[in-house]
Structure 1
C-alpha cells in the first residue's frame, strides 16, 4: 500500500511540477538562448501557474527598437491596449520612444496549461528565426522553447507572412506574496550590466523579495541579458521607475568632501534660516486661518440611501437628504475639508454666481448642473448637498481622459459646488436614441464604437489602474458625456465605491441604488457588488449604442433576461442572410456598417450580459475587443464613414 501511495505521489509531481514551487518562480538563467535544451527545472517555457489567481493584471517592460519604437507599434506587437500603454508611460498615443528606452506595458496574464502567459500575434518576416523573434524582436519577453511549444506544428521551418503566436512571460502573485502586500508582478527585461539590487531599488522593492520571487539567493544572484526578472509590486509601476539605475560607486567618497569648507563662515548662512522661519510662519498662519474659516460653517447633511420598490423599474433612485443635524463640525469632517482645500483649486461662491448669472435657470443644464464661464472657459458647475468629501477625494486622485475632470470646488452656506470640465456635445443619450420625429443628432458606426471603447477604457482604468480600485455602479447614457470630438467622458461618481481587498470577490449591500435597467441580476436580486457589475452595465449601454433604443424599450421585448434580445441575431450568424442583424442594428445605420464586425459586437454584448458574473469578460478584454473592431473598421470602411457623415 505504501509503495502504491509513493507511486501516486511521484506521478502527481511529474504531471504537476509547479506545486513544488509555491513560493517563487525559478529564474531562467542562460537557458533562454539554448533553443535545443529542454530544461524543465527553470522557467524556460514560462512561469508556473502557482499564483493565487488564474488570471491577473500584470506588467512587462520592453526596450524600444525601430520599427517598434512608438506607442502604436509596441501596443500592436505586444497585444497591449494603446491608450493604457500611453497613460502608463505618461506620453501621448503618437509618441516615439528613444531607441533602447524602457517602456512599461500593461497586460492581462492568464494560466494556460501549466504556465502563465499573455499571447501576442506576430507576422513572420523574411529572415526571421524562432531565436531572433524571441530574443531580438521581443527582446527576451518570450523564449524560443516557449514559441516552439506553442507552435505545435508539423513543419520545421517558419515561413514569411504566416502568423505566429508568441507567449509573453508574465505571472500572478502567489498566496504568500499576496499576504505580503504584493498585487502585481512586473516582468522586467534585464539588459547588460544590471544587477538585482539596483533593479529592485529603482522600483522601491526590497532586494530580498525580488530574489525570493525569482528563486535566487544572495550567493546566486547572477542575471543575464535578454531574460526576465520578476519584480513584486504593491502598486502599478510608473515611468520614473524605468530610469536606468546608476552604476555602483567604485570607492566611497572621501569624508572631507562631505564636510563644509572651513573658509565659509557660519554667518553667511543666517539668511537661509531667516527665510525658512518667515515662510514657516506664513504657512502656519494660513493653516490657522483656514481652520477658523471652516469651523464657522454649519454641519452639512448626511446621505440616506433608499431601497427602490418593484415599481421603480427604470427610474434612477434618488438619495434624499435628512434634516440638518444641530451639532458642531466633527474633527474628521474638518480634516477632510482641509485636505481637499489644500489639493484642489477652491473657488469663491461669488465667482460661480458670476459665471452662471447667479445660477439663472437659463444656465441650468439638468438637475442641479449649470453651465458657466470662468475666465473665458466653459465649465459645468454641480450644486450638491451633504457630505461629498469621499466623491471629491476620489475625483482628485483619479486622472484619465475618459473620466470627466474635476477642476475645483467651492463650499458655501452648507452647499458644495463641484466645477467640472465642460463637454460641449452633452449626454450620450441625446445622440443615440432613435427619435420618430427626426433629429439632426446622429452618430455613425465608427463614432459609436469609439465611444464604446472610450467608456470601456475609463472603466478599465477604475478597475485596474487606480489604488484602490473602484466599482463605478452608475453606468447609463446620461452619465456619459461627449466632448467636441465626440470622445466619451464618464461623469457622476456619487455612487462609486472602493473595491479594495475584494480581489474579484463580491461584497454585499442591502442598499440597492442606481438605474434598474442597467443593474446586474446579482446586484438587483442579492446586493452583490464587484467590477462585473460595471461589465453588465456596459453591456446594456453598448446594446443601446448599437440598436439606438433605450433599455426600457428593449425590456418590453423580453420576459426576464435582457440578453434574450440577442437570441435571434446569434442564431442567424451562420446563415447567408443578415435579416435579423439588419433589424437589430439602429435603422439609421442601415447598410452603413460592416456586418461581420457588428456580429462581433453582438457577441461581446452577449458576454457582458451573462447572468453568471464570473463568465463575463473583464473591462480590459472588452477594451481590446472594441479596439480591434475599431481598427478594422477604420482600415476597411473609410468611404463608409464619409457617406454616413454626409447624411
Structure 2
C-alpha cells in the first residue's frame, strides 16, 4: 500500500478575518491491487471541494495548495472513483447520554434523493405515518420520528436508533450511508467486513434526548449553503441552543461544513416571536379598542334578540319514515357513546381517538364476507379474528361480544397512542348492537407460535437461528416502546408467542393489547389486580401469589418467549417420560443452569428443527438473558431497554457467524427452504 500524507491548513472566521488555528491531516491511501478508500479520503475530498474554507499560509505560493492537492490526488486515483466525488465529509460525534434520560422520542432528518415515503419508512423500520415532509430550499425532505436510546456501540457510548439494511450485490457502505441514511450512520470498523450481499447489516443512527418536554432533538446533516441561522429557522430551534448542543464539533460552533451531523433541539410548538420596542401606550390603546368593540357588539346582539319574538317551530316527526339502516346506525352510535361513558367512569379520563377510523358495521361485514368461517385466522378468549379487505387494504378484524367492553377499550386506549413498527397497527373500530369490532393491519405470516411449535404440520418451514434472533430483537423493541417511549407506561400483561405476529419478511410485531394496563413511572408503581389475568406458563410469581402487576411482568413473560425460541417447546408441555404431567420451560431453563455442564445441557434442549445450524455461544447468551428475565424477584429482572442492547449484540454476532458460512448454507434464508 502506498500512502501520501498532506497537511492542509484552514482557518475559521474571526474579527480579524481568518486565523490558522486548525490543521487537517489527510491521509490518502491507494492500494495496488484494488481500489479501496478509507473514510479520511472522503473527508479530504469534501474539504478540498470547499475552496473558500482553505486558506494560505504566509507563503504566497501556498495560495494554490488546494488545487495542487486535488490535481495530485486525481492523478493517483483514476476516473473510476469519480462517482464518489459527491460524498461529503461526515464528522459524527454521538450525543453523550444523560443519567436522567436513557430513552426518549427523537427525529432523524432525511435528505431525500429519489425515495418515496413508503420506501423511506421501510429503510428506517418505521410506519409511513412517522415520516413527515419538510421543505428545504424548494425540495421536499423528511423528518422521521424514532425511539432513541442510550447504547454502547463497540465502545462508542451515546444515544442511537438502530435499524437494519439488507445489502444488495452492488452496494457499498458509503453509498448506502449517504444515499439512504443522509450520511448519518456510525461506521463501526468491526462490523464493516460483514457488509456483504444478502446480509441484514446493522445501521446505527445517532439521535438525542433533552430534559425539556418542549423540545425534541433532530439529527441533521448539514447541506450546501446551510448556515446555523438557516438550520434554526428550518427546524424551529434557537442558534444558541444548537451551538450548546454541538460544542464538541469544533472550537467555533458557528463554523459548519457540508456533511457534518448536528443535533438540533427543535421547539415542538415552534419559536415564539416577540416584538420588542413597541410603546406601552400603543398596546394599551389596542386593548381598550378591543374591549370597546366587544361591548358594543354584545349590546347590539342583546337588543336584537329582545325585539325578535320567539317563534314556535314545529318539527315534523320523520322518525316513522326512517329506514331500518338508519335506526341500526342510531343504536350503534348510542351503544358506542354508552360504552365510552361507562369505560371512562370506571377507568380515568375521557378517551379520545387520535388516529383510527370509525367504520360502519356494514363495512366490516362486507370486508369479511359476513364473517365467513373460511376467513377465520385466529381465536382467543375475547373473540375471533377474521381476514378481510377494506378498499384495497388487507385487514384483520377481531369480532368481540358486547360484554367484552373492558378488553375492547383497553386495546383502543393503548393502540390509539402507540405507533411503532414492532407493534401491530390499529386501523379502526366499529360497534354494533351485539358485537364490537377492532380492525388491525393484516400480518401475513401469523403468530410466532405457529412457526415454533410443529411448524411443518401448520404449513411453515422451521425458523433459522438468525431469523429467531431477529424476531426476539423485534419483539423486545416493541415491548420496550410501550414501557419507555410512550407518555404513560403500559404493561401488556399477556406477552406470549401467540401474541407475537410475523410479517412477510418474518419481522415481529407485538399484538393483542386486550389486557394492557396503565402503570406509573415512579418507584411505587405496583398495581394490585382484581383478578389473575394472563396465560399460564408466562406468569411471574408475584402475579400468581399477590396479583401484583408491573412492567417487570412483561419482562418475565418475554424470558419464557426466549426459551421457546431456543427450545421450540411450548411454555407448558407434556414430558414424554411423564405424559400425565405438564412441564414448564421456566423449570427447564433453571435446571440447565444448575447442571454441572450447562452448555451441554442447553445443547441437548435446543430445538431439533435447527439441525445444529447455530452458533452455540449466541444460544448460550440468549439463554442467560432468559434466565435473568425469569428471576424470582421482579427487581432483579432487567429492563427491556437493557434486553434490546444485549439482543442487538447477539444479532450482530449471529450475522457474523452466518457470513462466515460463505453464503452457501440454508440458514441464510431465515427459514430452512434455501435462498
TM-score normalised per structure 2? 0.53
- 1:203 aligns with one of 235, 240, 247: 235
Q: Distance in 2 between matches of 1:183 and 1:623?
A: 30
Report the Cα offset of residue 293 of structure 1.
Answer: 6.3
Number of the residue aligned with 1:267? none
Give the match's secondary structure for 2:427. Answer: strand
Aligned to 2:649: 625
Contact 2:451–2:463 under 8 Å retained in 1: no
Q: 1:184 to 1:439 in 2, by over 3 A?
A: same
Alpha-carbon distance, 1:50 to partner: 8.3
Asked whether 1:346 is paired with 2:378, we answer no
SS of aligned partner of 1:517: coil
Between 1:507-516 and 1:621-630, the stretch displaced more is 621-630
Contact 1:474/1:495 (CA < 8 Å) preserved in 2? yes
What does residue 386 of structure 2 align with? 371
Q: Quote the residue 1:479 is aligned against.
A: 499
In 2, the alpha carbon distance for the partners of 1:351 and 1:140 equals 45
SS at match of 2:537: helix
Contact 2:490 2:518 (C-alpha < 8 Å) held by counterparts: yes
- CA distance in 1 between counterparts of 2:336 and 2:204 reads 60
| Kept after mapping to 2: 8 A contact 1:592/1:640 | no
Question: Is the 2:148–2:208 contact (alpha carbons within 8 Å) kept by the matching residues of 1?
Answer: no
Q: Does 1:589 align with 2:610?
A: yes
- The correspondence of residues 204-223 of structure 1 with structure 2, limited to 5 A, is 204-205=236-237, 210=242, 222-223=254-255
CA shift, 1:543, in A, is 0.9
State whether residues 402 and 458 of structure 1, in contact with CA within 8 Å, keep that contact through their aligned partners in structure 2.
yes
2:533 alignment counterpart? 513
What does the per-residue CA deviation read over 1:379-426, in whole Å, with 9 as the maximum and x for residues that have no partner? 433214325345224324434444333333221126321133444554
Task: Work out which of the residue numbers 23, 34, 51 in structure 1 matches 2:98.
Answer: 51
The structure 1 residue matched to 2:264, chosen from 207, 212, 231, is 231
User: Runs of 5+ in structure 1 lacking a partner?
Assistant: 1-29, 36-43, 76-80, 92-97, 122-134, 152-157, 246-288, 303-326, 574-578
Q: Contact 2:126/2:420 (CA < 8 Å) preserved in 1? A: no
Identify which of 328, 335, 341 aligns with 1:297: 335
SS at the partner of 1:507?
Answer: coil
Which residue of structure 2 lines up, in the alignment, with residue 403 of structure 1?
A: 423
**1:252-305 C-alpha deviation (Å, 9 max, x unpaired):** xxxxxxxxxxxxxxxxxxxxxxxxxxxxxxxxxxxxx99976664387569xxx
Aligned to 2:29: none
Q: Does 1:502 align with 2:534?
A: no
Task: Tell me if 1:539 matches 2:559.
Answer: yes
Partners of 2:435 and 2:617 in 1: how far apart? Answer: 52
Distance 1:49 1:70, change over 3 A: same
Aligned CA RMSD, in angstroms, stands at 6.2
Q: Please give the alpha-carbon distance, in whole angstroms, between the structure 2 residues aligned to 1:523 and 1:332.
A: 22
Alignment deviations for residues 74-105 of structure 1 (CA, whole Å, 9 cap, x no partner): 99xxxxx97547879749xxxxxx99999888
Counterpart position of 2:590: 564
1:407-422 map, 5 Å: 407-413=427-433, 415-422=435-442
**Per residue, is there more strand in 1 or in 2?**
2
The answer as to whether partners of 2:592 and 2:602 remain within 8 angstroms in 1 is no
Q: Does 1:355 align with 2:368?
A: yes
Give the 3 Å change call, closer, same or farther, for CA 292–609 of structure 1 in structure 2.
same
**Alpha-carbon deviations, 1:464-488, whole Å to 9, x = none?**
5555554333211221234555443
Secondary structure, counterpart of 1:550 in structure 2: coil
* Selected match of 1:380 from 373, 397, 422: 397
Residue 672 of structure 2 corresponds to residue 639 of structure 1: no
Describe the shift of the 1:464–1:227 C-alpha distance in structure 2 as closer, same or farther (beyond 3 A). farther
Task: Give the drift of 1:600.
Answer: 3.6
- Within a 5 Å distance, the mapping from 1:448-487 to structure 2 comes to 448-463=468-483, 466-468=486-488, 470-483=490-503, 486-487=506-507
Q: Which residue of 2 aligns with 1:443?
A: 462
Larger Rg: 2
Q: CA deviation at 1:590?
A: 3.3
Look up the match of 2:619: 598
CA contact (8 A) 2:452 2:463 kept: no
Contact 1:116 1:169 in 2 (8 A): no
The 1:119–1:352 alpha-carbon spacing in structure 2 relative to 1, beyond 3 Å, is: closer
Aligned equivalents of 1:209 and 1:618: distance in 2?
30
CA change 1:545–1:630 in 2 (3 A) is: same
Does the CA-based 8 Å contact 2:335-2:433 persist in structure 1?
yes
C-alpha distance 529-34 of structure 1, shift in aligned 2 (>3 A): farther
The CA distance in 2 between the partners of 1:382 and 1:120, in whole Å, is 36
Deviation at 1:509, TM superposition (A): 0.2
Measured in 2, the distance between the counterparts of 1:562 and 1:227 equals 51
In 2, the alpha carbon distance for the partners of 1:161 and 1:559 equals: 38
- Alpha-carbon distance, 1:507 to partner: 1.6
> Once the two structures are superposed, what CA deviation does each residue of 1:187-216 show, in whole Å capped at 9, x if it has no partner?
545556544454344334456655665689
Corresponding pairs, count: 479
Counterpart-to-counterpart distance in 2, 1:208 and 1:332: 47
2: CA distance, partners of 1:391 / 1:399: 13
SS in 2 for 1:502: coil
TM-score (norm 1): 0.55
The alpha-carbon deviation at position 564 of structure 1 amounts to 1.2
Q: Return the alpha-carbon distance in structure 2 between the equivalents of residues 490 and 559 of structure 1.
A: 21
How far is the alpha carbon of 1:545 from its aligned partner? Answer: 2.0
Name the CA shift for 1:106/1:593 in 2 (closer, same or farther; >3 Å): same
